[in-house]
Amino acid sequence: MPPRASTTPGRDVPVEPPLVRARGLLVGYGLPVCPAVDLSVQPGEVLAVVGANGTGKSTLLRTLLGHLEPVGGAAEVLGAPVDPRAAQMRAAVAQDLGEEAFFPYLTAREHLLLTCYGHGVPGPGEVVDALLEEFGLHERADASPGALSSGQRRRLLLAAALARPRSLLVLDEPEQRLDVGMRNHLVERLVAERQAGGGILLATHDPRVVAGAATAVLHISESEVRTLDPDDGATAVASL
């Protein structure tokens, strides 16, 4: 029996279906890349997936988002089988996997506006201005992605994920390419998201993200998948 990564220990009957749930989930490319995973994320929880390079963290996130078919087991979002085309899943899940799929001729501001328009966000101009300011992009708002630095493009990806309504935020190593100040802000932002009732599933190599924002940790290695508390998880990340 694989270890259970429920982020609600002792809570036998959740009132709502979890935002995301995996049961005996095997992920990989024809063959599994890691042992079976059991997990769930409820509103207000942040599950950090940690492990050494190549242990399957990104593969797990991509499978839970429906970008990859499971090799075995089951995954659900809001109680329904994972289907990235389903309206419920599209409306509920915001994601930043670090993949840069920018339109080369749209500015940073226009990318964020497009996201707002696509999700019917009220007051898109104000929302976008606030995000540009928050992520330190206001002075580069009219630059195209190709004219932004690597860290600025990462900030733009994060801002785009936060520009739209969501119940679940899925992030793959969101700390990558961010300076220390923005990493600190990221932790604050994740905590605010959790406190507002959002759920977060993220993969990270940053012990500060784990210690500062996670409510539970899923540690993946070649031989086992373990659930850790955030302090032990941060220690484990720091020693990888």
Ligand X SMILES: Nc1ncnc2c1ncn2[C@@H]1O[C@H](COP(=O)(O)OP(=O)(O)OP(=O)(O)O)[C@@H](O)[C@H]1O
Binding site for ligand X (CB under 6 A): 29, 33, 51, 53-59
Rounded least distance, CB 50 to ligand X, Å:
9
DSSP H or E segment with residue 77 = strand 72-77
> CB-wise, 112 or 233, nearer to ligand X?
233
**Can you list the pairs that 124-131 forms with residues at least 24 positions away whose Cβ atoms lie under 8 Å?**
127/163, 128/163, 131/159, 131/162, 131/163
> CB-wise, 54 or 197, nearer to ligand X?
54
Rounded least distance, CB 203 to ligand X, Å:
6
Spell out a b/e string for 170-208, using b for 16 or more CB atoms within 10 Å of the CB, else e: bbbbbbebbeeebbebbbebbbebbeeebbbbbbbbbbb
> CB-wise, 58 or 167, nearer to ligand X?
58
Rounded least distance, CB 145 to ligand X, Å:
22
Question: 175: closest CA among 136, 202, 146?
Answer: 202
Rounded least distance, CB 136 to ligand X, Å:
25
Helix, strand, or coil (residue 84): coil
Compute the distance between CA of residue 19 and CA of residue 180 in angstroms, rounded to an integer.
30
Rounded least distance, CB 211 to ligand X, Å:
18
Compute the distance between CA of residue 124 and CA of residue 94 in angstroms, rounded to an integer.
17
> CB-wise, 163 or 228, nearer to ligand X?
228
> CB-wise, 59 or 215, nearer to ligand X?
59
